Amino acid sequence: MEKYYQKELETMPREELKKLQSEKLVKQVRHAWDNCPDYRKKMEEAGLTPDDIKGIEDLHKLPFTSKDDLRDNYPFAMLAKPLADCVRIHSTSGTTGKRVIAYYTADDIRMWDECCARSLAAAGATREDMVQVSYGYGLFTGGAGFHGGSHLLGSTTIPMSSGNTDRQLQFMVDLGTTVLCCTPSYAAYLGETIKEKGIKNDIKLKAGIFGAEAWSEEMRRDIQEALGIKAYDIYGLTELSGPGVAYECSAQSGMHVNEDHFIAEIVDPETFEPLPAGSKGELVFTSLDKEAMPIIRYRTKDICVLSDEKCSCGRTFIKMAKPMGRSDDMLIIKGVNVFPSQIETVLLNNGYQANYQIIVDRVKNTDTFDINVELTPDKFTGNLGDISKKEKELVLALKSMLGIMANVHLVPPKSIARSEGKAVRIIDNRKI
């Protein structure tokens, strides 16, 4: 039987839900106008006041918010409550200069935890379950979100954090973990290790919730097989709270958006016109209940499709498909956001030209990350020891910028394939 955490809200008739969203949107916009100079300025530029927003039918009139808006207002300008009312912060992993700081009041944390509790309940978790949270803890929202959700649901929470695979597996066996929360690539790695150690019969897992990076249906099948579980997807952004903005149910065919807290829209990435359900476009979110940091029409840059078809689980919330790509050139490698512009900055700062090629693949469910960099004629000495030393220097400089290691290969000048005179920058061989 389908399990819910807040059945009345999760299965609310659509007409009632729209009424609730309208009431909340009017309040959220007023709150942003009154307390965030940036929102007020943008609304004034668009010739709007809060009185123009009477319900969700007026949502499309509001200006968009971008990641740059949040970065430009670092660290405090997006804060809509006194700092003393905030009980926690988290932050994005952004390495392009300023990070985005997310602020939470106690009620914001409660809302976020409830979203994660809904996700856990939809995956079948109850107070009888042992939930191993193997997402990173800290500024990253993965660990904290599931930790809070598991507490609310009354499950027994194991705050493992990421890494230390031997300890992960020992606890999983000794304590009889039944629900695992981590990135899909780590779940796949745990699955392989379990196979190598021959301990599959000692594992009592029944479900896993995996997010924070893209994964394919093939990968879902592999993980389900290796761990003997049902594997569920989840979606979220630090800017909106963290994991749990949308969550998968027993149908395993898309993620229900927590529409009592967030409105999802799909817009044309070029004209920004809203598109009807079923259309492919950029996913945009508006928060309805956030106190410390209201978010109005946030452009996620994720390309996605929404479906309003009735779901077998009984939930009435709209469903989003797995994001199919990005409207910018961001790559997600090993769960970390990588922009080609960051790599260019490092190359130029180190005396190279921006002639490089990023090659990403997935081997045994783990991302590989290689960068071929053309030597400039003056650096092309033909001395192998010298090249090896230069490669190591670049690996360190890139690690410092990106936060992850890349395999750097220095190649002769003009050896990278050109398309219309420009080096072909990205070769992504992952099948996602």
Cβ 244 to Zn ion shortest distance, Å: 15
DSSP-derived secondary structure for 58-121:
GGGGSPPB-HHHHHHTTTTTT--S-GGGEEEEEE----SSSPPEEEEEHHHHHHHHHHHHHHHH
Nearer to Zn ion, 127 or 310 (CB): 310
Three-state DSSP class for residue 147? helix
Cβ atoms of 209 and 146 closer than 8 Å: yes
Mark 241-260 with x for binding to Zn ion (rule: CB under 5 A) and - for no binding. --------x-x---------
Nearer to Zn ion, 2 or 213 (CB): 2
Mark 204-243 with x for binding to Zn ion (rule: CB under 5 A) and - for no binding. ----------------------------------------
Nearer to Zn ion, 59 or 207 (CB): 207
Cβ 121 to Zn ion shortest distance, Å: 12
Say whether residue 315 binds Zn ion (CB under 5 A).
Answer: yes
Q: How many residues does the chain have?
A: 432
Buried b (16+ CB within 10 A) or exposed e, 253-292: ebbbbbbbbbbbbbbebeeeeebeeeeebbbbbbbbbbbb
Cβ 31 to Zn ion shortest distance, Å: 31
Nearer to Zn ion, 43 or 122 (CB): 122
Integer Cα distance of 271 and 327 in angstroms: 13
Burial class for 46, CB neighbours closer than 10 Å (0-12, 13-18, 19+) = exposed
Nearer to Zn ion, 79 or 251 (CB): 251
Q: Which of residues 285-314 bind Zn ion (CB under 5 A)?
A: 311, 313
Cβ 318 to Zn ion shortest distance, Å: 10
Name the segment binding Zn ion (CB under 5 A); options: 72-80, 162-170, 315-323, 400-408. Answer: 315-323
Nearer to Zn ion, 263 or 313 (CB): 313
Cβ atoms of 371 and 408 closer than 8 Å: yes
Q: Which positions touch Zn ion (CB under 5 A)? A: 249, 251, 311, 313, 315
